[in-house]
Structure 1
Amino acid sequence: MDRETSTSYDVLERLLLDESAEPTSLPLSLLQYVTNHFSLDNQIGSGGFAVVYKGMVGKGMVAVKKLSNTFGLHENKFHEEVKCLINAKHKNIVRFLGYCAETQGKMQKFEGKLVMADQRNWLLCFEYVCKGSLDKHITDATCGLNWRERYQIIKGITEGLLFLHEMRILHLDLKPANILLDGQMVPKIADFGLSRCLDFDQTRAITENLSGTLGYMDPEYLRSRQIAFASDIYSLGVIIMEILTGTKQYLDDDYVVESWMNRLDASEGRMQLEQVRVCSKIGIECMNLDPKKRPVARHIIDRLDKTTSADYSEEICIGSSSFELQISLPREQFGERIEKLGAESLQKTDVKEHSILEDVAERLEWLHMQESQLKVGQLPLWGVQDMKEKVNRHRANNSSSICTGFSEKNILDIFNTKTRSNFDRNDRRKSHFINIFRKEELLPIVRSSNQIGTGSFSGVYKGFVGNALVVVKTLLSGNMLEINMLENEVIVQSQIVHKNIAWLIGCCLEMENLMLVYEFLSRGSLYDILHSSSKVPLNLDVRLNIIEESAHGLAYLHSQAHTKIVHSDIKTASILLDEKFVPKISGFGVSRLITRDNEHAESVIGDMNYMDPVYLQTGLLTEKSDVYSFGIVILEIISRKKVSHSNNSLVKCFVE
């Protein structure tokens, strides 16, 4: 070790011991020394633009991030990252120790000649965080981190983000892979490679190049290239939902709470139930497609703090176009307030309002029951049963109004209201009528023993109606987004008759939640066939036939259907296969019936891994958006590699 390296080694060792010390410039020779010249044995991580090495400094450890691809990366970008890191000092942000920015001349061959070229060495040095990144710890609610750990992680991430925003720093790449956990499972936000420091009076900025991680990137940023504090809030919402459920998708808060029931500590069950629900609501609000409707970090922290108090209140929002009310009361007063609301609202004529009140009553009754099972102590919910009976009697007297409101869609004349004869899956009707099923026909199918899958918003069941084997899809809850998607699916599929489109046989309107009935396709989804642990052998001819037949179905949607249809969520999970491997496109919940003046989408919904960049940037939805997604499907079928695998993008790898 030479003198310069020895001196800087002492400086770095003191930095590790003194948490108040400022980050400093570090020589390349030192970082080479502590990492054993960046040996493979010391490598602990890698990404698209950097490799991370573990380094030994005395009895302590550091993490050294070495930018591996500096060609084409502007020097100002590195300076911006260093500036953000120097300002980011917080217990929930990985501690920044120092940086190296040295340029060396190196002889290299260029067009057959040796030339002297500048080699830029850009490195960053951090504290070593022993538990690694959060993505390695996230599982569903049935195993892995307990609730206390997950709650503290959510709160810690939010506190770190609040500090960044108060310092006018946008992270712009928040995701579990960029959140590290120390020995006490304290989360620390890391990787500021895409960060931006805003001026004091600046709240947003426009970027020239889109960068980030699909699935966590704000759709508004993808559409308009405008970055703001709300961009980080969207990413936080996705992370919260992933911590709660193990997946990045939107799920109703009742479903999330129910999934945690068996794991919660009985001694603190009431408070933990409320924490789960509040975190789920926060996650959903953060993912609102309208940035103006997302909460700010300070508001989120305040709500999380309230749930740690034993004497907490619950806030329930009841709303419709003509009826809005917000309740924020101690739990023991809920029953009295709901009974009063029920009595008052029965004077109104809107059945939807009574249905909303009934949902609130059922939710309170459910919470009461769960608390009783957890032996937390029963709370009086006076009048709930009485109010429910009043609402039910009123709804019985107004039976012409189907509770889902879906019967209004019959103005499209898509329902077959005549007596339904037995249908034959091999003799598909050429009309667009949707068969109406009675609930008595479908309820025996919708049992846990018949469940064959779960979608983003729905449960999927297999069973017989008469002699026909069918699939029944039913909502997991009555969330309006879910209802709208299923209703949209009925409307779109009523316009479709094609051998490569999954057949929607009918639906049931008598239930609280809409039920859809489809033909049963024995091979399941193309995604499962390509990527499940027990892969199904597919020779090249079969794969090419799947591609060709799927293309026929897509072409039909775009040019041969009664109205042009853009699917807008084409992916291998949306392509089902029958016993002969004939593909059939499904999943029309976010599809659009396109007219010339109706091509701009108000919101971006779908799987980001397959989404057309032009659609993301402009909101312009055309058949070319589907064609882009289908191109990715072709790559996936040919390679049998997932769209996102081992932190790599299939599209990016293919282009390279």
Structure 2
Amino acid sequence: MPSPVPVTRLLPKDIYPSLDFGTCSSPLAKYSLGTTLQVPVQRLHGKVGSRLWSTVIHWKELRSVQPVGSGGFGSVYRAEYLGDTVALKKVKKCTKNKLASRQSFWAELNAAHLRHGNVVRVIAATTCMPSDLGDEGSIGAILMEFVGDRNLHQMIYGCDELEDRWLRYATDIATGLRFLHSHSVVHLDIKPANVLVSSEDVCKIADFGCSLKLDLGCEVNSLSPSLSHVGGTYTHRAPELLKGERLSPKADIFSFGITLWQLITREQPYSGDRQYVLYAVVAHNLRPPVQEHPVFRSEQGGLCRTLLSRCWSGDVCCRPSAQELLPHLEQLTSQI
């Protein structure tokens, strides 16, 4: 669940005793061991490149704050911090569902202690904001590495040429998922808009507001009241979640399959009323069109069809793990 976890769950025992700690109040205190969250505070040496995230944002060091975009639970800004370009996300309260907005903030930190080239890095997070930058509608702020201005959705449906890059992008996403799943983090909202593309043309998984940190080897009942924030985008959401059944990392694989189809075809996965799509995905095994699409008629296209059918299978057991995805993507690469 998205509530804070003890630092002993985040770091090896030979590391955490030597660290300084800061305190960050948790709105989900009843799920933690106490009323506050203790996380390791990174020691700053003029740069934000420390491998540990901090509960302290040095607000006086934040400069040139410019809006980048906004979503359901927050707004993102580009800024300069300690000499580096960073992204600042302010998580706002949702008046209709205050619990969900608080859970979204803490879910953003499920992967904060992790470092990987295909996952957006968290630098710092806090529930304490200065009056000139915060507002009464903000729960807290998260400081992250600034990946760039482009996400995969913009590239798929824009003018960018993807003929020689879509498979590399898919491999980046699968590699990021393999890493997250190996640390028991399930993203639950994998889609092109939540994959950022860096200036080095590398895909990084972002926006962990729907994520969950699972106990090793366990699944979670998505209908639990404590998981009210679990949502994701309906076009990419696995049928077991739509049915309120137990969730696992395989839910991300289903979403990856829809995303891979978008990378290949550069089309929208579904058309029509939202409720119809939700019903048809569950009751009639509706999936994006493959058989009649010309791009799937080549030898490589046949391999893609097979992989897609496994990724978005209604039977969770038939879907490959993120680890198992990578050899299939390598096989596709050999067909180019």
Paired with 1:127 and 1:253, the residues of 2 have a C-alpha distance of 41
Counterparts of 1:277-316 in structure 2 under 5 Å?
277-309=302-334
Partner of 1:133: 151
1:203 matches 2:219? yes
Does 1:91 find its partner at 2:91? no
1:46 equivalent in alignment to 2:70: yes
2:201 paired residue number: 185
SS of corresponding position for 1:94: coil
Q: SS at the partner of 1:137?
A: helix
2:244 alignment partner AA? S
Q: How does 1:179-328 map to 2 (within 5 A)?
A: 179-207=195-223, 208=225, 209=228, 211-247=231-267, 248=269, 249-252=288-291, 255-258=294-297, 274-309=299-334
How many angstroms does 1:130 deviate by? Answer: 1.8
Larger of the two Rg values belongs to structure:
1
Query: Which one of the candidate residues 102, 106, 110 is aligned to 1:79?
Result: 106
1:177–1:30 CA distance, 2 compared to 1 (3 A) = farther
Is the contact between residue 90 and residue 138 of structure 2 (CA under 8 Å) also seen in structure 1? Answer: no
Residues 114-150 of structure 1 show CA distances to partners (whole Å, capped at 9, x for unaligned) of xxx977541111111124111001049xx73232211
The match for 2:140 is 122
Paired amino acid for 2:231: S
In 1: Cα distance, 2:58 partner to 2:99 partner: 19
* Alignment check: 8 A CA contact 2:57 2:124 kept: no
Provide closer, same or farther for how the CA distance between residues 80 and 47 of structure 1 changes in structure 2, counting only shifts above 3 A. closer
* Contact 1:230/1:294 (<8 A) preserved: yes
Q: Which residue of 2 aligns with 1:458?
A: none
Partners of 1:57 and 1:104 in 2: how far apart?
Answer: 16
Q: Are 1:25 and 2:25 matched, yes or no?
A: no
The answer to whether the 8 Å contact 2:304/2:332 transfers is no
Deviation at 1:97, TM superposition (A): 1.1
Q: Cα distance, 1:105 vs. partner?
A: 9.2
Distance (Å, rounded) in 2 between the aligned partners of 1:136 and 1:91: 21
| Secondary structure in 1 matching 2:128 | strand
Larger RCO, structures 1/2 (Cα 8 Å, 6+ apart): 2
Q: What whole-Å deviation, never above 9, does each CA across 1:177-203 have from its counterpart, x for those lacking one? A: 100000122110000011000011313
Change in 2 beyond 3 A, CA 1:124/1:70: farther
Instruction: Supply the AA of the counterpart residue of 1:257.
Output: F
Richer in helix (by share): 1
Aligned pairs, how many? 267
What TM-score, normalized to structure 1?
Answer: 0.37
Contact 1:104 1:119 in 2 (8 A): no
Corresponding letter in the other structure for 1:22: L
Distance 2:125 2:256 in 1: 28
Runs of at least 4 residues of structure 1 off by over 6 A?
A: 103-106
Residue 304 and residue 67 in structure 1: after superposition, are their counterparts in 2 closer, same or farther (change >3 A)?
A: same
Show CA shifts across 1:244-300 (max 9, x none).
001222312873235xxxxxxxxxxxxxx6544433432232111222221211111
| 1:364-412 residue CA offsets vs partner (Å, 9 max, x unmatched) | xxxxxxxxxxxx9xxxxxxxxxxxxxxxxxxxxxxxxxxxxxxxxxxxx
- 2:234 aligned counterpart, secondary structure: coil
Evaluate the alpha carbon distance shift between residue 86 and residue 124 of structure 1 in structure 2; reply closer, same or farther with a 3 A threshold.
same
Q: Distance in 1 between matches of 2:300 and 2:53?
A: 37
Structure 1 counterpart of 2:24: none
Task: Return the letter of the residue paired with 1:284.
Answer: S
Letter in 2 for 1:54: R
1:100 aligned residue: 126
Contact 2:112 2:121 in 1 (8 A): no
What secondary structure, in the 3-state scheme, does the structure 1 residue paired with 2:141 have?
A: strand
> Given the superposition, is the C-alpha separation of residues 201 and 287 from structure 1 closer, same or farther in structure 2, using an over 3 Å criterion?
closer
Looking at structure 2, the residues matched to 121 and 275 of structure 1 have their Cα atoms a distance apart, in angstroms, of 48
* Alignment partners' CA distance in 2, 1:90 and 1:136: 23
* 1:155 aligns with one of 164, 171, 175: 171
Residue in 2 aligned with 1:516? none
What is the distance in 1 between the residues matched to 2:165 and 2:46? Answer: 31
Structure 1 vs Structure 2 CA RMSD: 3.1
SS in 2 for 1:147: coil
Distance 1:77 1:12 in 2: 30
1:189-245: CA deviation from partner (whole Å, max 9, x where unpaired): 000011000011313433343522110111221112432112111110100001100
For residues 321-336 of structure 1, what are the structure 2 equivalents within 5 Å? none
Alpha-carbon distance in structure 1 between the residues aligned to 2:257 and 2:149: 23
Instruction: Report the alpha carbon displacement of residue 56 of structure 1 after superposing the two structures with TM.
Output: 1.6
Kindly, what percent of the aligned residue pairs are identical?
26
- Does the residue aligned with 2:156 lie in a helix, a strand or coil? coil
Residues 172 and 194 of structure 1 are in contact (CA less than 8 Å); yes or no, is this contact kept in structure 2?
A: yes
Q: How does 1:424-503 map to 2 (within 5 A)?
A: none
Q: 1:13 to 1:66 in 2, by over 3 A?
A: farther
Q: Structure 1: which amino acid aligns with 2:114? A: A
1:500-649 aligned within 5 A: none
**How far apart, in 2, do the equivalents of 1:51 and 1:172 lie?**
20
* 1:98 aligned partner, one-letter code: A
The 3-state SS of whatever aligns with 1:11 is coil
Q: Which residue of 1 aligns with 2:44?
A: 11
1:23 and 1:276, CA in 2 relative to 1: closer, same or farther beyond 3 A? farther
CA distance in 1 between counterparts of 2:160 and 2:301 reads 16
Contact 2:237 2:251 in 1 (8 A): yes
Residue 295 of structure 1 aligns to a residue in which SS?
A: coil
- Report Cα offsets for 1:580-628 as digits up to 9, x if no partner: xxxxxxxxxxxxxxxxxxxxxxxxxxxxxxxxxxxxxxxxxxxxxxxxx
Gaps of 5+ in 1: 1-7, 37-41, 107-116, 259-272, 311-375, 377-656
Q: What is the TM-score with the length of structure 2 in the denominator?
A: 0.70
Aligned 8 A contact 1:104 1:120 in 2 = no
Report the residue type matching 1:44 in the other structure. V
